[in-house]
Amino acid sequence: MSETLIAVERLDKTFGARWALRDVTFNVAQGEIVALVGPNGAGKTTLLRIIGTLARPNAGQIRIGKIPLAEHPNSARAAIGFVGHQTFMYDDLTAWENLNFYARLYDLPNISQRIRQVAARVGIENRLNDVTRTLSRGLQQRLTIARMLLHEPAVLLLDEPYTGLDQVAADLLDQIMADAKPEGRAVLFSTHDLERGLAICDRAIVLKAGRVVHDLSRGAWRNLAGFMEIYARVLEERK
Amino acid sequence: MRNSDRRLDALGLATLVFVIAGLYMAFLYAQTEVNMGLVYRIFFFHLGAVAAGFFAIIVVAVAGIAYLRTNARAWDRIAESSAEIGIVFCTIALLTGMIWARPIWGVWWTWDPRLTSFLILWLIYIAYLMLRASARDDARVARFSAVFGIVGALNVPIVIMSARVWRGISPVLFQETQQGFTFGLTPEMTQTLVVCITACLLLFFYLLALRTRLEAVRDELVALRRARSAR
Amino acid sequence: MKFLRQVLAIVQKDLAAELRTKENLSAMVVFALLVLVIFNFAFELQGVDITVLGSGVLWVAFTFSGILGLGRSFAAEKDKGSLEGVLLSPVDRGAVFLGKATSNFLFITVMEAVTLPLFALLNNVGMPWFPLIPYILLGTLGFAAMGTLLSAVAASTKMREVMLPILLFPVSIPLLMAAVKLTGGALQARAFADVSNWFNILIVYDVIFLVVAFWVFEYVVEE
C-alpha cells in the first residue's frame, strides 16, 4: 500500500456570505494522479491554493505526507511544487536568474547543476540567458514547470496547467505528470480540458459549489463519453 | 429582552447622567476663569474629546493585536467601530481647540505641538478608514486594518513625547495654558473636568457598544444568507 | 544562516532586476531633482537662507521620490504573481520583509547619494557631511522599513498608488520631523546637544518601526 501524500480533512472556506469550500475530504496517494473538475466557481482554485499554503481554510486539516500544514508550513512548502495561473517569474530577470533565485529560496545544494537538469527536462536549456520578458508565453510556461520541479517536491499541485499551452508544451506536461508516477510523487491538478485531463488521471474528483460531489476512480467511467454522462448528471442535479 | 441589551441600556443611562451633569457643571458650577473668561469652558469638553480620541486609537490597536492573534471577527468589529467613533471625537477635539484658540491666541490655528500632533492622529484615522474602504476582501480588510491600527497607535506615545521635545526647543504659547489650567484649577474646575472626561469616555463606550452590535447583527445576516445559499 | 541566505537572495534578485532596467532608480532621481528645482525656484524669489529651509526641501525630495520607489517595490512583485512564488517557498516571512526592506533602503540611499551633492551644488552651500550622512541614513532606515510594510498593504488595495502616501505619511511624520530637525541642525552647524532629543526620537522610531514591521509583515502578505 503506497503512502498518502495529500490528506485533506473536513476543509471549510468562506468568502463573506459565500461558501467556497464545504466539508471537503479526500486523500491522494504516492504515485497517484488526480484531476479536479467542476464548473466555474466550484472551488478548484481555492482548494489548490489552500493546499499550496497560499490561503488559509476556516476549518479543517491538511497533511502533506506526515507534515501538518498549519503547524509546519515551511516544511510542507519544501515538499510542494505549485503551478498557478501566473508564471511567478520576474520579467526583468533572465530565466536562469529566476530559477537561481527560487533555488536559493528553497536553499538547494548544487544549484547550477539542478537548474540545468530541470531546464533540460522542460526543453529550455538554450534559452536560460534570455530575459524572461522576451520569452514567448509557451516558454514562460515551461519555465514555470521547471520552477515547480526545482526542489524535487513530493507533491505537485497544478491549477489549470493546460491553459495557454501549445500542443508541444501540453504533451511535455503530460509526460512530466506521467513521470511523477515512477518518481513516487502525488499529483493533484484542476482542469477544464476534460479530454486531456481524464486521459492522464487515475481518479477524478468532481467539485460543485464547494463540495466534493463525486470521487471517481478510473474504473467508474469507460471513456470520455461515459464520464461526460456522469458529469452532466451532476451538473443537472439540484439546479 | 436579552441580558446584553439590559447592560447596554444601563451604560446608556449612566452616559446620559454624566453628560447632563457635565453640561451643568461646565456651564454653571465651575467659576469663570479670570484671564480667559467664559470661553475657557469649552475646554472641559475639549479635553474630554481629546481623551476619547486617544483612547479610541488605543482600542483600535489592542483589538487589532487581538484580531491577529485569534482571527476572531469580533475583534475586527470592535476595531472598526472604535476607529469610526474615534474620528468623531478627534474632529470635535480639533474644532473645540480651534474655537478656543481664536479668542485666546487670536488665530484659528497655530502649529502648536499639541494641535499638530492631534491633526496627525486625525489623519491616521482618515487613512485607516480609507484603507478599510479600499481593500479587496473581508479577511484582508481585517488583517490590513489591524496592522495599520497597530502602526498608527505606535505613534501616540511618541507623538506626545515629541511634542514635549518640540516645546523644549521652541517655547510656545502653550506654557500659558498650563499655568491657567494645570496649576490654576480650582477644586470645582477639577471636579468638572473629571466629570466631563468621564462623560466623554462613557459616551465613547456606549457608542462603541452600539456600533459593534450593529456590525454583529450585520454578520449574523450574512451568515443566515450563507446558510440559505448552501442548502 | 539559511535565513540570511534567503534575505540575501531577495536583495540580490531586486538589485539584478533594477540594474538591468534602471527604470526605478532613474525615475526616483529625476523626481527628486525636480523637487529641488521647484523649491529652488520658489526660494529664489524670496531670498531665503537655504541652511534654514534646506532640510525641509531635502526631505520632501527624499520622501516623495522614495514613495515612488516603494510603490514599485510590491507592485513589481505582483506583476506576474511572483510574490506568490516567493510565499510558496519555504521562507520565513520575516526574511521576505528584511530582503525587501533592505533593497528599498538601498534604492532610496542611491537616490539620496545623487540628490545631496546636487543640492549642495545648486544652492552653493557647503555640506557638513559628517553628521549629515548618518542622520539621513537613520531617517531613511525607518522610512524604508515602514514604507516596505505599507507598500505591501497598498499593493493589495484597489487604489495602489494613492494608498501608499496616504498610509505612510501620517504614520511617519514624527520620524520625518526628527530627521528634518537633525538635518537642519547639521546644515546650520549647531551643536549636537541642541538636537540630541531629536536624535533619540529618531533612534527610537527606527527600532520600533523595524521591529513592528518585521513582526506584522506576515499578516500583510499572507491571504
Q: Answer whether residue B172 shows pLDDT above 60.
A: no
The per-residue pLDDT for B180 is: 45
Question: How far apart, in whole angstroms, are the C-alpha atoms of residue A237 and residue A220?
Answer: 19
C-chain residue closest to A140, CA distance: C80
Question: How far apart, in whole angstroms, are the C-alpha atoms of residue C99 and residue A101?
Answer: 13
The per-residue pLDDT for B169 is: 39
Q: Which ipTM value was assigned to this complex?
A: 0.94
Are the beta carbons of A19 and A210 closer than 8 angstroms?
yes
Chain C CB within 8 Å of residue A84 CB:
yes
Question: How far apart, in whole angstroms, are the C-alpha atoms of residue A141 and residue A156?
Answer: 15
A-chain residue closest to B223, CA distance: A17
Judged by CB atoms closer than 8 Å, whether chains meet at B225 and A15 is answered as no
Positive or negative: CA dihedral B91, B94, B100, B106: negative
In this prediction, the residues of chain A whose per-residue pLDDT falls under 70 are 1, 238-239
Kind and range of the H or E element at A10?
Answer: strand A4-15
C-chain residue closest to B65, CA distance: C216
Whether domain A1-79+186-239 has CATH 3.40.50.300: the reply is yes
Angle at which helix C160-187 crosses helix C192-221, to 10 degrees, equals 160
Q: Answer whether residue B38 shows pLDDT above 80.
A: yes
Q: Which of C157, C205, C213 lies nearest to residue B131, judging by beta carbons? A: C157
Judged by CB atoms closer than 8 Å, whether chains meet at A91 and C5 is answered as no
Q: Which of C153, C159, C223 lies nearest to residue B148, judging by beta carbons? A: C153
- Chain A: closest CA distance from residue B140 (Å): 11
Q: Which of B134, B151, B165 lies nearest to residue C171, judging by beta carbons? A: B151
What integer best gives the mean pLDDT of chain B?
A: 85
Residue with the bigger pLDDT between B223 and B48: it is: B48
The per-residue pLDDT for B147 is: 97
- Chain A: closest CA distance from residue B143 (Å): 13
Nearest by Cα to B169 from C177, C108, A92, C118: C177
β-pair type (A33-37, A186-190): parallel
The per-residue pLDDT for A1 is: 52
Residues in A touching C79 (Cβ below 8 Å): 90-91
The residue type of A27 is N
Residues in B touching C174 (Cβ below 8 Å): 120, 155, 158-159, 162
Q: Which of B135, B146, B162 lies nearest to residue C177, judging by beta carbons? A: B162
The per-residue pLDDT for B160 is: 67
Q: Answer whether residue B174 shows pLDDT above 50.
A: no
The per-residue pLDDT for C176 is: 94
- Chain B: closest CA distance from residue A12 (Å): 12
Segment C16-31 shows an average pLDDT of 95
- Chain C: closest CA distance from residue B139 (Å): 8
The per-residue pLDDT for C199 is: 95
Residues in A touching C90 (Cβ below 8 Å): 74-75, 77-78, 105-107
Q: Answer whether residue B171 shows pLDDT above 80.
A: no
Judged by CB atoms closer than 8 Å, whether chains meet at C76 and A90 is answered as yes
Q: Answer whether residue B162 shows pLDDT above 90.
A: no
Within the 131-150 window of chain C, which residues sit less than 8 Å (CB to CB) from chain B? 146, 149-150
Kind and range of the H or E element at B158?
Answer: helix B138-169
The tens digit of pLDDT for each residue in C84-143 reads: 999 999 999 999 999 999 999 999 999 999 999 999 998 888 889 999 999 999 999 999
Within the 87-126 window of chain C, which residues sit less than 8 Å (CB to CB) from chain A? 87-92
CB pairs < 8 Å spanning A and B = 18
Report domain extents, chain C: 2-222
Segment C185-193 shows an average pLDDT of 92
The per-residue pLDDT for B176 is: 42
Segment B168-189 shows an average pLDDT of 52
The per-residue pLDDT for B74 is: 93
Neighbours of chain A (3+ CB pairs under 8 A): B, C
Give start and end residues of each alpha helix (H) in C47-128. 50-79, 82-88, 93-123
The tens digit of pLDDT for each residue in B48-85 reads: 999 999 999 999 999 999 999 998 889 999 999 999 99
Segment C39-53 shows an average pLDDT of 77
Q: Sheet containing A155-159: which strands, arranged edge to edge? A: A80-83, A155-159, A186-190, A33-37, A203-208, A211-217
- Chain B: closest CA distance from residue A170 (Å): 34
Nearest by Cα to B145 from A138, C5, A180, C163: C163
A-chain residue closest to C1, CA distance: A107
Report domain extents, chain A: 1-79+186-239
Segment C66-88 shows an average pLDDT of 92
pLDDT over 70 for what percent of chain C?
A: 99
**Residue C56 pLDDT grade (very low, low, confident, very high; cuts 50, 70, 90):** very high
The per-residue pLDDT for B32 is: 81
B-chain residue closest to C159, CA distance: B134
Question: How far apart, in whole angstroms, are the C-alpha atoms of residue A191 and residue A204?
Answer: 10
Segment C179-199 shows an average pLDDT of 93
Residues in B touching C156 (Cβ below 8 Å): 135-136, 140, 144
Judged by CB atoms closer than 8 Å, whether chains meet at B140 and C146 is answered as no
Chain C CB within 8 Å of residue A55 CB:
yes
